[in-house]
Amino acid sequence: MKFTLSWLRDHLDTTATLDEICAKLNTIGLEVEGLEDPGAVLAPFRTARIVEAVQHPNADRLRVCRVDAGPGFEAVQVVCGAPNARTGLAVIFAPPGTWIPGLEITIKAGAIRGETSGGMLCSLRELGLGEAHDGIAELPADTVPGQSYADFAGLNDPVIEIAVTPNRGDALAVRGIARDLAAAGVGHLRPWLAETVEGTFDSPIGWANLFPEACPWVLGRTIRGLRNGPSPEWLQNRLRAVGLRPISALVDITNFFAYDLGRPLHVFDADRVTGDLLTVCRGAGEAFQALDGREIVVSPEDCVIADVAGVQSLAGIMGGEATGVTADTTSVFVECALFDPVRIALSGRRHSLHSDARHRFERGVDQALPVAALEAASRMIIELCGGEASEVVSAGEAPAWQREARLRFARVAGLGGVDVPADEAVTALEALGFAVRQRDADEVLLDVPSWRNDIAMPMVLDQAPGLDPARARKAEDGARAVDAECDLIEEILRLRGLDSIPPVSLPALSAVPLPALAPRQVRAATARRVLASRGLMETVGYSFVAQAAAARFGEVPEALRLLNPIAADLDQMRPTPMVNLLSAVERNAARGYPDLGLFEVGPGFSADGQTQVATALYSGHTPRLPGRTAEPVSLWDAKADAFAVLAALGAPIEGVQVTADAPGHYHPGRSGVIRQGPRIVLGYFGQMHPALLAGRGLDRPVVGFELFLDAIAEPKRRRRAAPDLSPFQPVHRDFAFVVARDVAADAVLRAARGAERTLISGVRLFDVYEGDKVPEGHKSLGVEIVLQPVERSLTDAEIEAVSDRIVAAVSRACGAVLRG
């Protein structure tokens, strides 16, 4: 919100300086974001008069001027190259040492072609005030030398810009800001009363309201016999100062009241309105040309204003070009209405339309102001454009905005932390427009002013089936009362100054600081650390991807489709980070880097919700190293890294099983599902399906894994004893079991591990063979068994006995025989 200091003083009677006003705005929560003071930049420039101008003796295009610049500069010689420099001309003079903003230089006294020059005669462009550069600026003939040019030209009006929070719609008006400052002790709020304009005829245009949910009350009147043209200089200057372009008197008046009172208005060219009725109604798919030149197609959710010819305005947001005022307008219909903030916000967002009117309506406007605002606007239109006004016509009725708020004085110190005397608290609230209805020693009941829509507003409570409506209303009233009291305390502390609230440290919950990270965050950080330590490079991708890309990795529910994506090809929530990793692999391969390993720990989305996924993808070959050739990446690389992450996260590796039912984006015969029991899926690993890679420029192996971190149970927090390391050497024995092809290797490993739990410390599969050396339909599994004696070294007989028990257990469980 921007406003000038002089504009503020129209509503605020104060002697405070600019710095004092800005400081107070900051302390009462209206943070100053910017301050432009053109008068400070132009302070050194003075009005002056050329007493004499003669030809420079050594230059055809230069003139030597004797300048009267007022006290202290009565006889200054200036060399000037402007073609219009002449005797008697009133000019703008810059003494030596002045910063010239248009040229970005500091001028100095010196000599030009042998003639001394003690300053500069300036054009408006050199002052940064325009583009005219035909010569130096010519001031009126009666200009008195020695004045500050900023004062002379009315350019000493600073522009203040403040940040306005979404709940403070009243602060989007200069009068609202002045009211806050006056309540905080910076001057007094000037009285404002709109002078009634008597109607001299019946309005030829009336209202019909078919959409009261969106527009509870609308007023208007016709003003005829006027002449539209440029607005006066004071009005144009104010609009330019706040960043608005003056258009015409009628449009500028509506813009003025949007900033002055926070009251958006709209004027229709009455002669361009078809029929004698303007109707507030729902849209029905019609298209109309907005004032910004865009074609808008309205929907039934939009509130519009239409005449017989069709839609003429997207109500509360932007008018239409067909009924907009022009230089030829001689009769207007002025609209002043109240609109539902939520519907305004949704319509503006739906059509990507931003306007000052929308900005104010969606934050809430003064619900008691429409009549007075219409009268004030009518008065200004008649004063600036002439004409006569009709009687006011309306549809709907003024909303019941009246509400009350209760404040318990003890709560100011209890909730706000500052002990404010009761009289001071009540006085502060009265200065903001609250009216005392009832007061006693402990509390006060106040009427809330119409412009404070953020205080004691009704709440919407979801009612569960069977909930008594009376109980629901009682709960709503109680919640509203608590919120209203908090709002009042905020206002009291705000006017005292937010900097007056003493800082208080939060109480320590325990002598030992609590963990700063949640278990879910710890899991993600651990997974990242493990994968990075194993040589993979981390990536971070968008959580939304192209729908076609997501479909290659499973279902794409319509519920996860984005209605308003940031890009056309980012319209679906990703089912897995694997979508992003595969795209990254494709881009790297296209640029000549096919051999890489990438990982991401991030969310994946499904119809059941969101889950945290640690995903990795490998492509190409392993690095070529001395003594080691490059080999294609394999599913065993992916499995090893996946199990390393599981181990680091405390998953019970010994109880994990691998089944061959991975999703469709994995190779059906070269992939697995990591399970903890029959129901809990911890992740997938394997080679990517050839169909997924076809036509994507990936002619090398691509493998990967996905781990669902949320499915990993939290390890039990128990104190672990130091490991009991055996002093005896372990014994390694290899077995080759021949089993049927459909027997899972995990079954063989589990059977071997259970044969002798006191001695067996490790079981590992190291080879799988299928060929002519084993019977048809069978395979050979190479298993390494580690025996760890604890009490003494094992004898050969004891080792043979354990081996026999292992072979028997595997044979009994899996039908295996030792390979000869």
**Which tokens sit at 597?**
């390993």
Question: Do the Cβ atoms of 662 and 686 come closer than 8 Å?
Answer: yes
Mean pLDDT by 10 residues, the chain (820 residues): 94 94 94 88 92 93 93 86 93 93 90 93 86 82 91 86 93 96 95 93 96 96 96 90 92 96 96 96 95 94 96 96 95 96 94 94 94 96 96 94 92 90 94 94 94 73 46 51 84 90 83 81 94 95 93 90 89 95 92 92 92 94 83 92 94 86 92 91 94 84 94 75 83 94 88 89 90 91 93 90 93 90
Looking at the structure, tell me whether residues 143 and 184 fall in a common domain: no
* Domain's final residue, options 333, 367, 396: 396
List the CATH number of the domain containing 802. 3.30.70.380
Q: Within a domain: residue 201?
A: no
List the CATH number of the domain containing 481. 3.30.56.10
* Domain's final residue, options 663, 680, 711: 711
* Domain's final residue, options 374, 396, 418: 396
- Kindly report the backbone phi and psi dihedral angles of residue 769, in degrees, each rounded to the nearest multiple of 5, phi listed first: -130, 135
Q: Which of 160, 141, 197, 155 has its CA nearest to residue 36? A: 160
Looking at the structure, tell me whether residues 31 and 82 fall in a common domain: no
CA distance 656 to 214: 60
| Distance set, CA 190 to CA 8, 10, 193 (Å) | 10, 8, 10
Q: Which residues contact 294 (CB under 8 A, 6 or more apart)?
A: 353
**Which tokens sit at 151?**
């004062």
Q: Strands 731-740, 63-68: parallel, antiparallel or unpaired by DSSP?
A: unpaired
Would the pTM count as exceeding 0.85?
no
Q: Within a domain: residue 514?
A: no
Domain containing 75 equals 40-152
DSSP string of 13-75?
E----HHHHHHHHHHTT--EEEEE-HHHHTTT-EEEEEEEEEE-TT-TT-EEEEEE-STT-TT
Looking at the structure, tell me whether residues 639 and 736 fall in a common domain: no
CA distance 687 to 701: 8
Question: Do the Cβ atoms of 781 and 797 come closer than 8 Å?
Answer: no
Looking at the structure, tell me whether residues 588 and 576 fall in a common domain: yes
52 in a labelled binding site: no
* pLDDT attached to residue 718: 63
Q: Within a domain: residue 718?
A: no
CA distance 442 to 319: 51
Looking at the structure, tell me whether residues 534 and 480 fall in a common domain: no
Strand partners, 208: 279
Angle at which helices 422-431 and 174-183 cross, to 10°: 160
Looking at the structure, tell me whether residues 363 and 223 fall in a common domain: yes
SS3 category, 327: coil
CA distance 68 to 77: 9
Helix (H) or strand (E) holding 396: strand 393-396
490 in a labelled binding site: yes
Question: Do the Cβ atoms of 108 and 96 come closer than 8 Å?
Answer: yes
Looking at the structure, tell me whether residues 601 and 546 fall in a common domain: yes
Looking at the structure, tell me whether residues 227 and 336 fall in a common domain: yes
* pLDDT attached to residue 239: 92
Q: Within a domain: residue 509?
A: no
Domain count, the chain: 6
8-state DSSP, 395: E
Per residue, the 3-state secondary structure of 172-221, as one string, reads HCHHHHHHHHHHCCCCEECCCCCCCCCCCCCCCCEEEECCCCCCCEEEEE
Handedness of CA 425, 426, 428, 434 (dihedral sign): positive
DSSP string of 609-648?
EEEEEEEEEEESBPPPBTTB---B--HHHHHHHHHHHHHH
Q: Strands 90-94, 572-573: parallel, antiparallel or unpaired by DSSP?
A: unpaired
Q: Within a domain: residue 433?
A: yes
CA distance 754 to 812: 12
* pLDDT attached to residue 481: 58
Q: Cite the DSSP H helix spans in 402-509.
A: 410-416, 422-431, 469-496
Q: Which residues contact 283 (CB under 8 A, 6 or more apart)?
A: 298, 299, 300, 301, 302, 303, 304, 311
Strand partners, 290: 320
Dihedral of CA atoms 355, 357, 358, 364 in degrees, nearest 10, equals: 150
- Kindly report the backbone phi and psi dihedral angles of residue 670, in degrees, each rounded to the nearest multiple of 5, phi listed first: -135, 50
Question: Do the Cβ atoms of 353 and 235 come closer than 8 Å?
Answer: no
DSSP string of 227-292?
---PPPHHHHHHHHHTTPPP--HHHHHHHHHHHHTS---EEEEGGGS-SSEEEEEE--S-EEEBTT
SS3 category, 393: strand
Q: Within a domain: residue 658?
A: yes
Question: Do the Cβ atoms of 107 and 98 come closer than 8 Å?
Answer: yes
366 in a labelled binding site: no
Looking at the structure, tell me whether residues 612 and 736 fall in a common domain: no
Question: Do the Cβ atoms of 477 and 495 come closer than 8 Å?
Answer: no
Residue with tokens 């292992």: 806
Strand partners, 445: 406, 438
Q: Which of 491, 478, 494, 392 has its CA nearest to residue 446? A: 491
Looking at the structure, tell me whether residues 533 and 558 fall in a common domain: yes
List the CATH number of the domain containing 110. 2.40.50.140
Exposure of 510 by Cβ count < 10 A (0-12 exposed, 13-18 middle, 19+ buried)? exposed
CA distance 250 to 266: 9
Query: What is the b/e burial string over 580-618, where b = at least 16 CB atoms within 10 angstroms of the residue's CB?
Result: bbbbbbbebbeeeebbbbbbbbbebbeeeeeebbbbbbb
Q: Which of 378, 395, 394, 398 has its CA nearest to residue 386? A: 378
**Which tokens sit at 240?**
């330019």
Q: Which of 556, 7, 613 has its CA nearest to residue 261? A: 7
Please give the sequence-ordered ranges of beta strands (E in DSSP) within 697-777, or none if there are none: 702-708, 731-740, 760-769
706 in a labelled binding site: no
Q: Which residues contact 695 (CB under 8 A, 6 or more apart)?
A: none
Question: Do the Cβ atoms of 132 and 125 come closer than 8 Å?
Answer: yes
Looking at the structure, tell me whether residues 291 and 365 fall in a common domain: yes
Exposure of 499 by Cβ count < 10 A (0-12 exposed, 13-18 middle, 19+ buried)? exposed
Q: Cite the DSSP H helix spans in 497-593.
A: 519-533, 547-551, 578-590
* pLDDT attached to residue 484: 87
Q: Within a domain: residue 512?
A: no
Q: Within a domain: residue 47?
A: yes
* pLDDT attached to residue 460: 40
Looking at the structure, tell me whether residues 264 and 129 fall in a common domain: no
**Which tokens sit at 544?**
């939304």
Q: Which of 797, 764, 769 has its CA nearest to residue 781? A: 769
Handedness of CA 50, 53, 58, 59 (dihedral sign): positive
8-state DSSP, 561: B
